[in-house]
Amino acid sequence: MSHFKKLVGDRIYLSPKTTDEEDIVKYTEWMNDFQVTDYTGATAKLITLDSEREWMNNIVKNTEDYNFDIVDLNNDKLIGTISLVKIKTIERSAELGIFIGEDSYRIRVGDYRIIYNIFDDIVTVEVININHRREVYKRK
């Protein structure tokens, strides 16, 4: 798979969405995994390679939205996707969607979520919050 470093952070980079067959297979795998799609509204759907390929082709052709793959900076591993859609320039608003498909890059235990930071340079994981999924993302 070929990813391009469009926006680079400390641990990940965003690459414009492509129709690379390896990525399509990976997204199809994620979309058919209950642990990944739980609470997304897509759990009951069966996603085929053809339907995912068609969806990806439509995403790449769309010039109104911004769709990127999320890629690990250290190993170029595809871990998810991020999209900015329904962009309204006059109202200065849009919808943001973040999907992390790669299991080792997210922490969920049942209905609970763990919010954390990883500091690679000092080999430390800082746990910020552990709470029920409806509470964990609320600002205090």
* pTM of the full structure: 0.73
More confident position, 82 or 121: 82
Average pLDDT, the chain: 79
Predicted pLDDT at 139 = 58
Residue 137 pLDDT > 70: no
- Tell me the pLDDT band of 24, cut-offs 50, 70 and 90: very high
Alpha helices in 62-130 (DSSP H): none
Residue 50, sorted as left (phi over 0), alpha (psi -120 to 50) or beta, turns out to be alpha
- Give the sheet arrangement for strand 78-88, strand by strand: 7-8, 12-16, 66-72, 78-88, 93-100
Residue 109 pLDDT > 70: no
Measured distance CA(104)–CA(99) in Å, rounded? 13
Q: Which of 28, 12, 5 is nearest to 106 (CA)?
A: 12
The residue ranges of DSSP E strands in 4-62, in sequence order, are: 7-8, 12-16
pLDDT digits (tens, 9 = 90+) for 49-94: 999 999 899 988 988 899 999 999 889 999 988 888 888 888 888 8
3-state secondary structure of 128: strand
Predicted pLDDT at 36 = 75
Predicted pLDDT at 50 = 93
CB of 61 closer than 8 Å to CB of 54: no
Q: Which of 80, 64, 65 is nearest to 15 (CA)?
A: 80
